Amino acid sequence: MGGKNRNLWNELKISVNKIGVRLNKFDYKKKAIYVIADQCHLLKNLKSTLLNGYITIPEYFKFEENIPSQTVSGCYIRQLWDKEVTAERELRLLHHLKQEDIFPDNFQKMHVGAAIRFFSMQTVAAIQVAVKLQILPENALSTAAFIKLVYQWFEMINSKTRKTSITKKNQVKKYDFLMKFITTISDTQFNGTGWKPLNTGLILTTLSICDVTQVLLKNGKHPSSTDCLNVMKIIAVSQFVSDVKRTNYCSDSDLTLVEHCKQLHSTAAGKIRPEIIQLDHSYYFDKFSLNTHILDTVPLQEKYSELDLYSLNLIYNIGGSTVNACIKKCCSSCKMVLLEDGNDNVSIKKWTIYKSFLNMGGLKEPNVLVVQLLVNCELQYQHFRGHSMHNGAVDLVSKIIKEININFQCQSGNECDLKALIVKHYFTVRNYSVVNYIQSTKKKKIIHGSATKK
């Protein structure tokens, strides 16, 4: 919230203070013009404040959320990051963050994507699991609660889906949340005492969103067909050239197209892409040859010497995403197999901690057989990690499908190969976290299928 913006608002008689009348609009030609601060800029400011300072939330918010402290700080995220990197973990709770997200330079502070990743349910779940496993102190739960509040707020005002946006059916529930957000931010202190521009920007934007939505819903205003067509053209072309798998309104714009054209121009001007060096397929770092080693099927058990509770929680969560992916590619009878509750004497309730904190209703519960298969995949992955890094994981995936004695029968006769789908999906997702855990570049370097120089 720069000085120029505040000066402009003062000239337009825009006033948002802790006490008194709040004015978030001005009249122009007998029409109300509502003022909204850039929500992406607000999110970046919040992230910078959280990492470099501290935030004091009101006492009533502490009691409502049942959290131990009123102080919110980014130091807990840094602590968790340092512990995961020091332990050289590949399966990490903060797998969605990059090093520059937590330790940014002056230019990296301006990245909107970093702020969106930071204020996400993955960060909330990571902190909650770390507290549950006694890796972080209980005071870190206050930081998790505040990040969740900001995530829900940003998800609503930047929504492009009916479920998270304000509609006629859910407007009462959504307005109640936004009013709660305004009240909480009004009593929140950023880096000490006093009213800060960040308070003004967050409240001003939320008030204007509420007012504009009410006006549109009341008057039945909808965009014209021409407006929809123009927006669809921009979004379609932006998504076609974007490197982001799931984009949003922050990235789908004319600016995205301009930046893409600049990159094409600079590449054509002389930038040369480095060639991918194919490594010798017969080279191994492992003691045993993959071709001669026989894979043993490991039964499901509560504890493994090679896998701690930390890793088992993340594997179980990958199991939920695996089921979500596989049910889209198999027949109805195989869907029932994936979703049915298997009978097993082994208790794996402790493995579900991370998923229970992260799940917002979309992830399915993986079958016991799916979990057992994924545990076997992880154990074999760790054993033949050197081979996969230098030669790709195609041979290992084929060997697991062939030799691990965990099978799924398709009852409809469509010959759905569930086992192959599950193993391939796991290795694809698992390889996201392999490369450069110290740098934490979660780039989609899919080792499954090809080998590249690391």
Residues 371-389 pLDDT 10s:
999 999 999 988 888 777 7
* Closest-CA residue to 124 (of 355, 321, 312, 364): 355
Gap between the Cα atoms of 75 and 81, Å rounded: 10
Gap between the Cα atoms of 215 and 175, Å rounded: 13
Gap between the Cα atoms of 432 and 442, Å rounded: 6
Q: Which residues contact 442 (CB under 8 A, 6 or more apart)?
A: 95, 96, 97, 98, 432, 433
* Closest-CA residue to 260 (of 276, 275, 244): 244
Q: Angle, nearest 10°, between helix axes 418-430 and 368-383?
A: 50
Domain-embedded: residue 293: no
Domain-embedded: residue 273: no
Mean pLDDT of 387-412: 84
Residue finishing a domain among 268, 292, 326: 268
Helix, coil or strand: residue 374? helix
Q: Is 70 found in the same domain as 150?
A: yes
Q: Is 184 found in the same domain as 52?
A: yes
pLDDT band at 441 (very low <50, low <70, confident <90, very high): very low
pLDDT digit string, tens, across residues 205-257: 999 998 888 888 887 766 666 666 666 666 666 555 555 555 554 555 555 55
pLDDT band at 289 (very low <50, low <70, confident <90, very high): low
Domain count, the chain: 3
Q: Is 22 found in the same domain as 120?
A: yes
User: How many degrees, rounded to 5, is the angle at CA 69 between CA 91 and CA 200?
Assistant: 95
Strand 31-34, strand 54-56: pairing: unpaired
Q: What is the reported pLDDT for 228? A: 63
Gap between the Cα atoms of 88 and 102, Å rounded: 17
pTM of the entire predicted model: 0.78
Q: Name all contacts of 164-170 with Cβ < 8 Å and 24+ positions apart.
A: 166/209, 166/213, 166/217, 168/217
Q: Is 210 found in the same domain as 335?
A: no
Q: What is the reported pLDDT for 451? A: 39
User: How many degrees, rounded to 5, is the angle at CA 427 between CA 423 and CA 430?
Assistant: 135
The DSSP 8-state label assigned to residue 28 in this structure reads E
Q: Is 414 found in the same domain as 322?
A: yes
Q: What is the reported pLDDT for 300? A: 87
Q: What is the reported pLDDT for 452? A: 40
* Closest-CA residue to 190 (of 179, 178, 202): 202
**Phi/psi of residue 32, nearest 5 degrees:** -85, 125
Domain-embedded: residue 72: yes
Gap between the Cα atoms of 85 and 209, Å rounded: 41
pLDDT digit string, tens, across residues 316-334: 988 888 888 888 888 888 8
Q: Is 175 found in the same domain as 261?
A: no
**Phi/psi of residue 264, nearest 5 degrees:** -60, -40
Q: What is the reported pLDDT for 287? A: 43
For the record, the structure tokens of 167 come out as 């509609």
426 with 438: CB under 8 angstroms? no
pLDDT band at 355 (very low <50, low <70, confident <90, very high): confident
Mean pLDDT of 133-158: 93
Domain-embedded: residue 80: yes
Q: Is 390 found in the same domain as 248?
A: no
Q: Is 250 found in the same domain as 205?
A: no
Gap between the Cα atoms of 107 and 100, Å rounded: 10
Highest mean pLDDT among 128-142, 167-181, 384-398 belongs to 128-142
Is pLDDT larger for residue 366 or for residue 132?
A: 132
Whole-angstrom CA distances from 46 to 69, 405, 454 are 19, 50, 36
381 with 152: CB under 8 angstroms? no
Number of residues written out for the chain: 454
Domain that holds residue 203: 3-219
63 with 142: CB under 8 angstroms? no
Q: Is 74 found in the same domain as 184?
A: yes
Residue 307 host element (H or E):
none
Q: Name all contacts of 14-17 with Cβ < 8 Å and 24+ positions apart.
A: 14/204, 16/199, 16/200, 16/203, 16/204, 16/207, 17/195, 17/200
Domain-embedded: residue 154: yes
**Percent over 70 (pLDDT), the chain:** 77
Q: Is 208 found in the same domain as 250?
A: no
Domain-embedded: residue 12: yes
Q: Is 56 found in the same domain as 176?
A: yes
Domain-embedded: residue 442: no
* SS3 assignment for 220-271: CCCCCHHHHHHHHHHHHHHHHHCCCCCCCCCCCCHHHHHHHHHHHHHHHCCC
AA letter at 16: V
Q: Angle, nearest 10°, between helix axes 75-86 and 140-157?
A: 110
Whole-angstrom CA distances from 201 to 37, 41, 148, 323 are 6, 10, 19, 42
Q: Is 414 found in the same domain as 336?
A: yes
Q: What is the reported pLDDT for 326? A: 87
Gap between the Cα atoms of 2 and 41, Å rounded: 10
Query: What's the maximum distance between 2 C-alpha atoms anywhere in the chain?
Result: 82
Domain-embedded: residue 444: no
